[in-house]
A and B are shown apart, each in its own frame.
Chain A
Amino acid sequence: MNPGPTTMLSRTADNLYWLGRYVERAENSARLLDGTHHLNLLPLTSDEQSELWHKLFQSQNEVDAFLEKHNQFSDRAVIEYLTLERDNPSSILSCINSARDNTRAARAELTTEISQCMNQTWIDIRGVSMQQIDDRGIQDFLDFIKERAHLFKGVIYGTMRRGEPFLFWELGTALERAENTSRLIMTRADAFHRVHRRDDGFDFYRWGTFLRSANAYSAYRQIYGDIDPVSVAEMLILNTNIPRSLLACIEDTTDILKTLRREAPCAEMSERLAAEVRAIRLDQVLRSGLDNFLNDFRKQVHALSDQIRIDFMMVR
């Protein structure tokens, strides 16, 4: 019976794409928050602490929105704002709400197990209060989010039919990862060309935490051994064996788009971006400033998302 396996509703494709993005975003926020939380355990001045929390915000707009509710960057206020704040569209709670919303909208393309897993997470996160986070510690909550994100992805990999719906979910996940990793590198962009002092315990701890935020610490130790900023940059930008590296994400994106439709303009665009990243000279990039490179990368990822909408979503 029609419709064949290769056709799906544009709206549903959009829902699955955003489902991938929101779950990934929630997980990455948890990771980033986790890293900052760990850095805060170091003996720091209150200015340094404030700066750390400040870096968790993506843009000046977000900082302004936060300051409308709170007058300073205290850890509790920032934690609440980034985890449970309903009025913050990027809070973890908001991400889970949006993910659940998209799960419901695409319900007919998903298995019961997927929908149940999302519902359970949504029910559970609604039961969490700031009081509870105070009592049990933020770590507990962040572990819960990360675990559920892994579980959710596992259920999708384990139960979902391979085909267009699955590919659009993967696509959202890959692009969100690319953005998150670029954002993560951005939080330490200035540290990459500082002179590295091997004997500095602080510095070692910082880089370690940073790598853990990208889920890449143990891999780094296995591949590179000693921590040095250039290797860290190489790994997070260019190493295709690391699933969250920029190049890995864009190569994944290219593969997915080509499987969806080989001749789609967005597939070609993605392939071009991957080639550009592959061809960079890291020492030059570090010399001229990582921020320039990252800003340009993010612009291209945005353009790519727009092209995907044009090619597949019958944008009106």
Chain B
Amino acid sequence: MTNSGPKEPQKFFDEMLEPDGTVRMAYAQYGEWLDAVSKDTLIRKDEQADMMFRRLGITFTVYGDAESTERMIPFDIIPRIIDPNEWDYLARGTIQRVEALNAFLDDVYHDQAILKAGRIPPELVLNNDAYRPEMLDLDLPRRIYGHIAGVDVVRTGPREFYVLEDNVRTPSGVSYMLENRQTMMRLFPELFATNHVAPIGRYPTELRNNLKSVAPVGVDDPTIVLLTPGRFNSAYFEHAFLATEMGVRLVEGQDLFVDEGLVFMRTTSGPRRVDVIYRRIDDDFIDPLAFRSDSMLGVPGLLSVVRRGRVTLANAIGTGVADDKAMYVYVPEMIRFYLGEEPILQNVPTYSLRNPDDFKYVLENLENLVVKETHGSGGYGMLVGPKSTKKEREEYAQRLKAEPEAFIAQPTLSLSTCPTWVDEGVAPRHVDLRPFVLSGRRTTVMPGGLTRVALKEGSLVVNSSQGGGTKDTWVLER
């Protein structure tokens, strides 16, 4: 155990309603409106929203499904509303976390002070698959590695927020944050007149300014591009959306090439130098000469240009070592070590099975815990204790015994609920939140984020691949 655990509430915390049914402050205006609006209006607005998203072509790709390769993530017309005090706390907490993660990355690719101080076991970092020795002793502009980060937060009580995971590789979802707001403003203009919702539209501009601020030394007017795996990638819509909003070129690997130690793009008037690449391709695929040689998506020789400091990648290569599940438990330690502060946001209590005490506890309490593979993602290879059978637990226990260091375990969290528009009408559904943190001249977070909602009754899984949807997220201004 690294933290004190969440209290077990009798009932789920609801974002809108107090336990006695009164409406919370943040929802006061909205609640009145929701009471007064007719069901028919909501049905109509829901259909309108669906049509708007389809026409925009906001779809994500489902791999290996020939007939309907494009699906939409369901959008919920009821917003998640956050009051200014709660937001202040969340904003400080997420910024603190990302600053610590950037300091950690700069450290592990330079002096490794945190390892020398014995605060993190060196082998966990240095033997990690996501650790890239190619990045050692390279001084990045402003010492930033994770220019764009998504911090997944869940809530279990009035002041109880937990960070579920940090995403500092190529976090996605920000286009949904922005489009959800656009859609809400078109559907319910009257609500924005009565509720003072903090605007988020400047995200693309802020991101572009940040990217400009980390251009290679000596480049005053950098050419910035967004590198996408292409239009068959599940997040392509987001890539195109951000490129348009930022006013930068959307490029694929085949559009770029390395020549005489620089990166160029192929244009109608010949080669043109590229200085900053906001890349949405994973490390493994970014340079077939350095990493996976079978990658058709990347740019051969790109790493060599990065090493010479003649191009900046955002996020940097090798950030994965900071958001690995095994490293997660040490983030509070990073905050203390680099910033000299106490963590504002809590980690979910996590048991590392490499630790004998934790190992014993986990095996004895499997039916109450969620067990995850350290390197897994997207919910694969996970055991959800309360929903598992005895046989499944016994089989899983065998895997734990065989390779304890490959697993972590966490208690099942009682995610907060938020009123949601479903077939039966308005009903509570569980939600999480991904605020987006940007680092450049300074570290900032957009007031809002992506709220994901588990549309199935009782479900705690918010992933879009498992029936999750999204909501607009309102941060009220003071």
Whether A179 sits at the interface, judged by CB under 8 Å, is no
What band does the interface of chain B fall in when counting residues whose beta carbon is under 8 Å from A? 20 to 34
CB-nearest residue of chain B to A103: B57
CB-nearest residue of chain B to A14: B268
Given A108-B249, A119-B56, check contact A13 B222 (CB 8 Å): no
Whether B270 sits at the interface, judged by CB under 8 Å, is yes
User: Could you list 11 examples of A-B contacts with CB < 8 Å?
Assistant: A1-B208, A2-B222, A3-B223, A7-B268, A9-B265, A9-B268, A13-B268, A105-B231, A107-B241, A108-B243, A116-B55
Whether A8 sits at the interface, judged by CB under 8 Å, is yes
Whether A228 sits at the interface, judged by CB under 8 Å, is no
B247 touches A1 (CB 8 A): yes
Whether B266 sits at the interface, judged by CB under 8 Å, is yes
Given A11-B254, A105-B231, A108-B249, check contact A6 B269 (CB 8 Å): yes
> Closest approach, in angstroms, between the C-beta of A17 and any C-beta of chain B?
10
Whether B255 sits at the interface, judged by CB under 8 Å, is yes
A107 touches which one: B54, B240, B254 (CB < 8 A)? B240
- A 154-193 contacts with B by CB, 8 A: 164, 168
CB-nearest residue of chain A to B272: A7
> Closest approach, in angstroms, between the C-beta of A172 and any C-beta of chain B?
14
Whether B472 sits at the interface, judged by CB under 8 Å, is no
A2 touches B268 (CB 8 A): no
- A 70-106 contacts with B by CB, 8 A: 101, 104-105
Q: Fill in one digit per residue for A1-31: 1 if any B CB lies within 8 Å of its CB, else 0.
A: 1110011111111000000000000000000
> Closest approach, in angstroms, between the C-beta of B228 and any C-beta of chain A?
9
> Closest approach, in angstroms, between the C-beta of B57 and any C-beta of chain A?
4
By a CB distance below 8 angstroms, the chain A residues around B54 are: 119, 123
A7 touches B267 (CB 8 A): yes
By a CB distance below 8 angstroms, the chain B residues around A3 are: 223, 249, 267, 272
> Closest approach, in angstroms, between the C-beta of A4 and any C-beta of chain B?
10
Q: Identify the 9 closest CB pairs spanning chains A and B, nearest first.
A: A107-B240, A108-B250, A108-B243, A314-B266, A2-B223, A119-B57, A312-B268, A116-B55, A10-B266
Whether A215 sits at the interface, judged by CB under 8 Å, is no
By a CB distance below 8 angstroms, the chain B residues around A40 are: none
> Closest approach, in angstroms, between the C-beta of A236 and any C-beta of chain B?
32
- B 242-277 contacts with A by CB, 8 A: 243-244, 247, 249-252, 254-255, 265-272
A1 touches B266 (CB 8 A): no
Report how far A154 CA is from B164 CA in the complex, Å: 49
Report how far A12 CA is from B237 CA in the complex, Å: 16
Whether A58 sits at the interface, judged by CB under 8 Å, is no
Whether A120 sits at the interface, judged by CB under 8 Å, is yes
> Closest approach, in angstroms, between the C-beta of A115 and any C-beta of chain B?
6
By a CB distance below 8 angstroms, the chain B residues around A105 are: 231
By a CB distance below 8 angstroms, the chain A residues around B265 are: 9
Number of A-B contacts (CB under 8 A): 81
> Closest approach, in angstroms, between the C-beta of B348 and any C-beta of chain A?
38
By a CB distance below 8 angstroms, the chain A residues around B244 are: 107-108
By a CB distance below 8 angstroms, the chain B residues around A129 are: none
**A3-B249, A119-B54, A261-B269 given. 13 additional CB < 8 A pairs?**
A1-B212, A1-B221, A3-B267, A7-B268, A7-B269, A10-B267, A104-B231, A107-B237, A107-B241, A108-B243, A115-B57, A116-B57, A168-B268
> Closest approach, in angstroms, between the C-beta of B333 and any C-beta of chain A?
40
Whether A125 sits at the interface, judged by CB under 8 Å, is no
> Closest approach, in angstroms, between the C-beta of A166 and any C-beta of chain B?
13
B249 touches which one: A9, A101, A104, A314 (CB < 8 A)? A9
A contacts with B: majority SS = helix
Report how far A312 CA is from B266 CA in the complex, Å: 10
Q: Hey, which bits of chain A sit against chain B, CB under 8 A? A: 1-3, 6-13, 101, 104-105, 107-108, 112, 115-116, 119-120, 123, 164, 168, 260-261, 312-314
Whether B338 sits at the interface, judged by CB under 8 Å, is no
CB-nearest residue of chain B to A167: B268
B contacts with A: majority SS = mixed
Given A1-B221, A2-B221, A104-B236, check contact A9 B266 (CB 8 Å): yes
Report how far A313 CA is from B268 CA in the complex, Å: 6
> Closest approach, in angstroms, between the C-beta of B127 and any C-beta of chain A?
40
Report how far A260 CA is from B267 CA in the complex, Å: 13
By a CB distance below 8 angstroms, the chain A residues around B252 are: 11
Report how far A298 CA is from B268 CA in the complex, Å: 25
Report how far A231 CA is from B370 CA in the complex, Å: 81
By a CB distance below 8 angstroms, the chain A residues around B249 are: 3, 8-9, 12, 108
B221 touches A112 (CB 8 A): no
CB-nearest residue of chain A to B226: A108
Report how far A162 CA is from B221 CA in the complex, Å: 24
> Closest approach, in angstroms, between the C-beta of A89 and any C-beta of chain B?
17
A108 touches which one: B57, B240, B267 (CB < 8 A)? B240
> Closest approach, in angstroms, between the C-beta of A271 and any C-beta of chain B?
19
Report how far A9 CA is from B223 CA in the complex, Å: 13
CB-nearest residue of chain A to B244: A108
CB-nearest residue of chain A to B208: A1
A119 touches B55 (CB 8 A): yes
A9 touches which one: B212, B241, B247, B255 (CB < 8 A)? B255
Report how far A164 CA is from B55 CA in the complex, Å: 26
Report how far A101 CA is from B477 CA in the complex, Å: 42
Given A2-B221, A3-B249, A107-B240, check contact A112 B266 (CB 8 Å): no
A260 touches which one: B222, B236, B255, B268 (CB < 8 A)? B268
> Closest approach, in angstroms, between the C-beta of B262 and any C-beta of chain A?
14
CB-nearest residue of chain A to B243: A108
B56 touches A116 (CB 8 A): yes
Instruction: Give the interface centre of B212, B241, B244, B267 by most chain A CB atoms within 10 Å.
Output: B267
Report how far A116 CA is from B237 CA in the complex, Å: 13
Report how far A2 CA is from B269 CA in the complex, Å: 14
Report how far A10 CA is from B271 CA in the complex, Å: 10
B268 touches A164 (CB 8 A): yes
> Closest approach, in angstroms, between the C-beta of A91 and any C-beta of chain B?
18
Report how far A12 CA is from B250 CA in the complex, Å: 9
Q: Fill in one digit per residue for B204-245: 1 if any A CB lies within 8 Å of its CB, else 0.
A: 000010001000000001111010000100001100110110
Report how far A119 CA is from B70 CA in the complex, Å: 12
Report how far A205 CA is from B271 CA in the complex, Å: 55
By a CB distance below 8 angstroms, the chain A residues around B221 are: 1-2
By a CB distance below 8 angstroms, the chain A residues around B212 are: 1
By a CB distance below 8 angstroms, the chain A residues around B254 are: 11
